[in-house]
Amino acid sequence: MRLEQILSIRGLVQQTPSAEEIRERAKLVTPYPIKVFYGETYDDKGNTVDSMKYYFFVAELADILRDEGYTVDPMILVADTAACRNVKEDLQRQYRALGTERARFIEKVNAIYGTGLRIVRMSDYIDSSQFVKEREEIMETCKTSPELIESIEKTVPESKIDIERKKGFLYSFDEITTIIDLDVKVGPPREDLYDNLARHLAQQRGTKGVISLFLTPTFPLGMNWAYFFKNDGIEDHGITAYKAGSKQLQRQRVIPGKSNPDYIQHQINESFISINPLLPNPVLDLGIICELARKRLEGDTKPILLADEFYSGKITPEQLKVSVGRNVGEYLLSRF
C-alpha cells in the first residue's frame, strides 16, 4: 500500500494532510526519525478494539514511510498520569495499575500483529526537568494572552471548567507540552482543539508545528436508528475510542479478552446500518478494523476497499454483518 492509498481509505481516515506534506516533514527532520504518534487514556472497563484501530494505523503508516526510505518512530502514549488526574484519590493506585495493563495490552498487539510500536508512559517523563521546564514556558506564554487562555478553556468540557481552573489546567498543558514537538499526530477529530493550540504556540516559537491526522469516530454496536437520532453529539463525534465505558456503553463495545464472539455477533445483528455514507456505521467501522488486523496477520499490502464495496452496493448490509461477525472472531477476539 502506498502513502496516498492509506491516507484515502474510506471509512477509516476522516481528515488528513497530503502525502507530500508528510514526506516533506520526513525530509525536514532527517536524519532524525519522523515521529508518528497516538496517545490515549483508559478506564476500568477493558481494552478496546477501537484503540487497536489507531495502533494498526500508526504501524501501517510507519511501515509505508520506511518503505519509502525514511526513519520512523511510531509511538503510542499511555497517558497514565492524565488518567489518574481525572479520578478520585482512592482510585489512584487502581488507575496506575490499569495504565500498566494498557501498556501490556499494546505489547500483546505488537507480539501478535508485528506492529513494532514504541510504548511510552506519561509517568516516565512528566516529572523530568526538561518536560517541567517546557510546560512552564508554555504556561507563561498562555497566561500573557487572553485569547490563548480562552483556547485552553475550550479544551475542557464545560462541566469541568471550574475544577480544571483550580488545577491550573494542568491536564491540558500536559497534553500540549507532550504534542508540541511531534511530527504526525493520529487521533480522533475531537482532539483538534489541542492540536490547533499546539500549532499556534509552535508558530510563535518559530518551530515546526504538529501535523494532525484524524480517523473516523467510534460508534456503539447494537443500537437502532432512534438512538443515533436522539443523541446528536454521538452521531457527530462518536464515543471515546479508548475508554470502553464511554457513555456507559461498555456492553456495546468489542473488548479483546472479555467479549464473547456470539454476543458480539448478536450486537452486530442488532446494529443500525445504513447505505447512506453520512450516517454512523459501527458495523463497517468494526469491519475495517478487522481488515487492518487481517492484513497484518497475512502480510497483505493491498488497500482496504471494504467501505467502497459496501457503499457501491457490492456488499449488502446483511452480507456485511455476517462477514464482520465472522472476521471479528477470527482476526481479533481469538487472538487474545
Torsion of CA 220, 251, 114, 188, to 10 degrees: 30
Residue 161 parent element (H or E): helix 161-166
Q: What is the pLDDT of residues 208-255, one digit of tens each?
A: 999 999 999 999 999 999 998 888 778 778 999 999 999 999 999 999
Ranges 43-57, 60-74, 141-155: which has the least confidence: 141-155
Q: Is 90 exposed, middle or buried (0-12, 13-18, 19+ CB in 10 A)?
A: exposed
State which amino acid sits at residue 205. Answer: R
Q: Is-contact 281 11, C-beta < 8 A?
A: yes
- The neighbouring-strand residues paired with 37 are 75, 185
Count of C-beta atoms within a 10 Å radius of residue 259? 23
CATH class of 3-215: alpha beta
User: What nine digits make up the cell of 284?
Assistant: 463497517
Check pLDDT > 90 for residue 83. yes
Q: Is-contact 78 119, C-beta < 8 A?
A: yes
Q: Is-contact 287 330, C-beta < 8 A?
A: no
- Confidence band of 10 (pLDDT split at 50, 70, 90): very high
Check pLDDT > 90 for residue 164. no
* Rounded-to-integer distance, Cα 73 and Cα 273, Å: 37
Please tell me which residue, 31 or 159, carries the higher pLDDT value. 31
Q: Give pTM, 2 decimals.
A: 0.95
- Confidence band of 191 (pLDDT split at 50, 70, 90): confident
In this prediction, residues 72-87 reach a mean pLDDT of 94
- Confidence band of 207 (pLDDT split at 50, 70, 90): very high
Q: Is-contact 135 168, C-beta < 8 A?
A: no
pLDDT of residue 154: 86
Q: What is the pLDDT of residues 96-130, one digit of tens each?
A: 999 999 999 999 999 999 999 999 999 999 999 99
Count of C-beta atoms within a 10 Å radius of residue 297? 15
Any idea which residue has 507480539 for its cell?
A: 111
Helices (H) and strands (E) in the chain, counts: 16, 6
* Rounded-to-integer distance, Cα 228 and Cα 217, Å: 13
Would you tell me the crossing angle of helices 282-298 and 317-327 to the nearest 10 degrees? 50
Ranges 27-31, 201-205, 310-314: which has the least confidence: 201-205
Any idea which residue has 511510531 for its cell?
A: 74
State which amino acid sits at residue 136. Answer: E
In this prediction, residues 263-267 reach a mean pLDDT of 97
In this prediction, residues 255-271 reach a mean pLDDT of 97
* Rounded-to-integer distance, Cα 184 and Cα 23, Å: 11
Contacts of 97 (CB under 8 A, 6+ apart): none
- Confidence band of 193 (pLDDT split at 50, 70, 90): confident
* Rounded-to-integer distance, Cα 14 and Cα 30, Å: 28
Residue 319: phi and psi, rounded to 5, are -65, -40
pLDDT of residue 328: 98
Cis before residue 280, ω within 30 degrees of 0? no
- Confidence band of 161 (pLDDT split at 50, 70, 90): confident
Count of C-beta atoms within a 10 Å radius of residue 309? 14
Pairing of β 34-40 and β 72-78: parallel
Domain ranges across the chain: 3-215, 225-335
CATH topology of domain 225-335: Tyrosyl-Transfer RNA Synthetase (1.10.240)
pLDDT of residue 74: 98
- When the pLDDT of each residue in the chain is averaged and rounded to a whole number, the result is 95
HSE-CB of 106 using CA atoms within 13 angstroms: 29
**CA angle (11 as vertex; 328, 331 as ends), nearest 5:** 15
